[in-house]
Homo-oligomer: A and B are copies of this chain.
Amino acid sequence: MSYAVEPWQLRWQGLSVDHLHQTESTFALANGHIGFRGTLDEGEPRGLPGTYLNGFHEEHQLSYGESGYGYPEAGQTIVNVTDGKIIRLLVEDEPLDMRYGNAIEHERMLDFRSGTLRRRTLWESPTGRRVIVRSERLVSFTQRAVAAIRYEVEPLDDVQLVVQSDLLANEPTVSRSNDPRVAAALDSPLVNDFTMAEKTRAVLCHHTKVSGLRMAAAMDHEIDIEGGVDVRTEIRAEADLARYTAAVDVAKGSCLKLTKYLAYGWSGQRSTPALRAQVEAALAGACQTGWDGLLKEQRDFLDDFWEVADIEIEGDDELQQAIRFALFHILQAGARGESRAIPGKGLTGPGYDGHAFWDTEMFVLPVLTYTLPDAARDALRWRHATLDKARDRAKVLGLKGAAFPWRSINGAECSAYWPAGTAAFHVSGDVAFATQQYLNATNDEAFERDEATEILVETARLWTSLGHHDQHDGFRIDGVTGPDEYSAIVDNNVYTNLIAQQNLRSAANAAERNPSVLNVSADEIAAWRRAADAMAIPYDEMLQVHPQADNFTKHAEWDFENTPEEKYPLLLHFPYFDLYRRQVVKQADLVLAMHVRGDVFTADQKARNFAYYEARTVRDSSLSAGTQAVLAAEVGHLGLAFDYLVEAAYTDLHDLHDNVNNGLHMASLAGAWMALVAGFGGMRDHGGELTFAPRLPDALTRFSFRMAFRGTRIAIDVCETEATYRIVDGTELTTRHHGEPITITAGSPVTVPIPKAPELERPKSPFGREPRRH
């Protein structure tokens, strides 16, 4: 059982109940505001039902065997909201349930160009009646609060059909938590506030018990029964259920068509009547646009996206599909978030409790910055909107400026393990990094003035209060945790220090350009530059490599030869203390520093460091492969880079971490883009200068990628010996190709030769941790 390999869609044939958990994630639809897991229309069988509204969460108490000052007290968990996806069918007196009767034909496909999930089923009921069911579902990119479903039933016999279309709140689910308090908080989390049903339309309003957030869901219907007689419809609503029912006799060969329009809204501020009005308005708009109109808007939106973002691969059709799958889901996660976070799983599942992490800034936002920059800006606006919480957190921690949370839905820290949460201060530098990257890529002066400068200044203040000038080594940042979660509470993590260095300089520049923002003094700016210039970067002279943090290269080695595969991921089988004290790396850390701050490493250092960390990085995190691909490609290990590109791209489609049931790995999907564009494309943007150094891996015959920079859309076509740079939309772009300046103008593509890659020995991965393909 697996997906058909097709360039523009993901298709699964057959039912395969055991895979529903996974395919519900890969077939998820979302627009950054509403998320629908790819459940069957009839609701069951199912893996995990899932309907999400970005940011809508419940709170629960965090408990500690031994508590400590500054430990967060409230956890947040994404809530499975009122499910509007459900359309049930009764064929004569038999409910359509794929587990019973006979699913003669069944396929589902996610179409990356139409932006819809289609399903076609030929089902024979236990008593032998046959129907063809076709459905198409969309979550609208253009009408943010709207989703819609077209549901068609074509009987192959004369039958009575009963169609039930539901809004269902508090769906029973199996608890995913070992903590009884968390499980209790998420068992029937919604409390009904309002219920309405009239003709074809119904509205349910609820709120959560502890967080007190309010939401509304509404549905309306159009029914068209070609050849139907004796149609009888009704609508009713209770506290947790609204149901539209149509019963009709349909002749063989005729067709019942139901169109269901859905609207969702939530707020922590607005009243229930206001929310009701909001969803009814959205619903009216959707009905006015109509099903065909929604489909057309969706396709136009996607046509535009693919014009700026598409990647073409020649020589590996499965990879081609995987890359478009990745781009499509990143788009779905971020397109219409609008000042909400982009969670680690997007809106595809309940994994990580629906929290957003630093990888949104360091992995997902680069993709959006260069393809859909407004979405990147909106995600950064979420950070800006949480600045007060980040300032409060910094204050609690005895620091200045803003300390962004390790994991959160609403901006408040939810990490209950501080060595890998609070101590990972790089998250604030990552936010600043993404902010500066977006500014460089867009010249968005309004955002710089209104939001970006404040972010940069407040994060810079964090670093000067967190680090100190020391007579031994310069400006040290001690006791923090870098990206690698198999180390913690270390001194001078190189990644953190380099991110902080850039943060301090970005803030100094932004504050000088925007003197009215926050009244930053010249002394403060000078202090930032002094700290940046004095930043301690440890180096191991004996081994001629950068330790990922002070002392790292002196630590004991991990015994990879005696670590069997079933002991991975290591953190489930070994205590933190054992991981922390050894040279075992969960995910690219120094290697990530060499990507995002590649400007401060020499080519020799990159090659030596890469080989050193390659032998010690186990990739227990899905964040790693993409970054390793980027650096492998840069130092010349094209075969290895390709293997990591494939691993990143297949993480979810092949369920490499055995947890896609909880949702897709957005950062890994972004890592596939990164591997292609920054790896084989060699795209870098150090200091705001866009440069390329493309190279074709042996496994491919050609690839091309697209992106936008300061409003200009370009395409770069790469084959073995040469690369062609072309303006897709815009007038001119100046960049570099393998270090040489080139200027491309509209209508005049530039083709340049690609220097031959060096012949290098492939560096060793840890025993048993070679790149995974399946």
Chain A residues at the B interface, C-beta cutoff of 8 Å: 62-72, 75, 178-179, 396-398, 415-419, 422-423, 467-468, 470-473, 476, 478-480, 488-489, 491, 542, 550-551, 553-556, 571-578, 580-581
User: CB-CB < 8 A to A62: which residues of B?
Assistant: 65
| With A398-B574, A422-B577, A478-B581: A65-B69 Cβ-Cβ less than 8 Å | no
Task: Assess the B418–A554 pair: CB atoms within 8 A.
Answer: no
Give the docked Cα–Cα distance between A554 and B477 (Å). Answer: 10
Task: Assess the B472–A554 pair: CB atoms within 8 A.
Answer: yes
Task: Assess the B418–A70 pair: CB atoms within 8 A.
Answer: no
Most B Cβ at <10 Å: residue of A71, A479, A571, A578: A479
User: CB-CB < 8 A to A578: which residues of B?
Assistant: 397-398
Give the docked Cα–Cα distance between A708 and B417 (Å). Answer: 48
Give the docked Cα–Cα distance between A43 and B161 (Å). Answer: 78
Contacting residue for A555 out of B478, B542, B580, CB 8 A: B478
User: CB-CB < 8 A to A468: which residues of B?
Assistant: 556
3 interchain residue pairs of minimum CB distance: A65-B416, A479-B581, A70-B575
Most B Cβ at <10 Å: residue of A65, A67, A419, A578: A65
Residue of B nearest to A399 (CB): B578
Contacting residue for A478 out of B418, B551, B571, CB 8 A: B551
Q: 17 additional contacts, CB 8 Å, given A63-B63, A418-B575?
A: A63-B65, A64-B65, A65-B416, A67-B178, A68-B417, A69-B573, A69-B574, A69-B576, A397-B577, A397-B578, A422-B577, A470-B556, A472-B554, A476-B554, A478-B551, A478-B581, A550-B551
> How many copies altogether?
2
Task: Assess the A580–B489 pair: CB atoms within 8 A.
Answer: yes
Give the docked Cα–Cα distance between A554 and B479 (Å). Answer: 12
Give the docked Cα–Cα distance between A554 and B467 (Å). Answer: 11
Give the docked Cα–Cα distance between A571 and B554 (Å). Answer: 31
Give the docked Cα–Cα distance between A505 and B473 (Å). Answer: 36
| With A178-B67, A418-B575, A572-B69: A542-B471 Cβ-Cβ less than 8 Å | yes
| With A69-B571, A70-B575: A554-B473 Cβ-Cβ less than 8 Å | yes
Task: Assess the B397–A576 pair: CB atoms within 8 A.
Answer: no
Q: Could you list 28 A-B pairs, sorted by A, with CB under 8 Å?
A: A63-B63, A64-B416, A64-B417, A65-B417, A66-B416, A68-B571, A68-B576, A69-B572, A70-B574, A396-B575, A397-B575, A397-B578, A418-B575, A419-B419, A470-B554, A470-B555, A470-B556, A472-B542, A472-B554, A476-B554, A478-B554, A478-B555, A478-B556, A479-B580, A489-B489, A489-B580, A491-B554, A491-B581
Task: Assess the A491–B416 pair: CB atoms within 8 A.
Answer: no
User: CB-CB < 8 A to A491: which residues of B?
Assistant: 551, 554-555, 581
| With A63-B65, A468-B556, A542-B472: A575-B398 Cβ-Cβ less than 8 Å | yes
Shortest C-beta distance, A248 to chain B (Å), equals 53
Task: Assess the A575–B69 pair: CB atoms within 8 A.
Answer: yes
Residue of B nearest to A73 (CB): B65
User: CB-CB < 8 A to A581: which residues of B?
Assistant: 478-480, 491
Give the docked Cα–Cα distance between A66 and B576 (Å). Answer: 13
User: CB-CB < 8 A to A580: which residues of B?
Assistant: 479, 489
Give the docked Cα–Cα distance between A473 and B417 (Å). Answer: 32
Residue of B nearest to A491 (CB): B551
Residue of B nearest to A419 (CB): B419
User: CB-CB < 8 A to A473: which residues of B?
Assistant: 554
User: CB-CB < 8 A to A396: which residues of B?
Assistant: 575
Give the docked Cα–Cα distance between A396 and B542 (Å). Answer: 35
Give the docked Cα–Cα distance between A764 and B574 (Å). Answer: 44
Task: Assess the B68–A418 pair: CB atoms within 8 A.
Answer: no
Most B Cβ at <10 Å: residue of A70, A542, A556, A574: A556
Contacting residue for A66 out of B417, B423, B542, CB 8 A: B417
Give the docked Cα–Cα distance between A578 and B418 (Å). Answer: 12
Task: Assess the A66–B554 pair: CB atoms within 8 A.
Answer: no
User: CB-CB < 8 A to A417: which residues of B?
Assistant: 64-66, 68
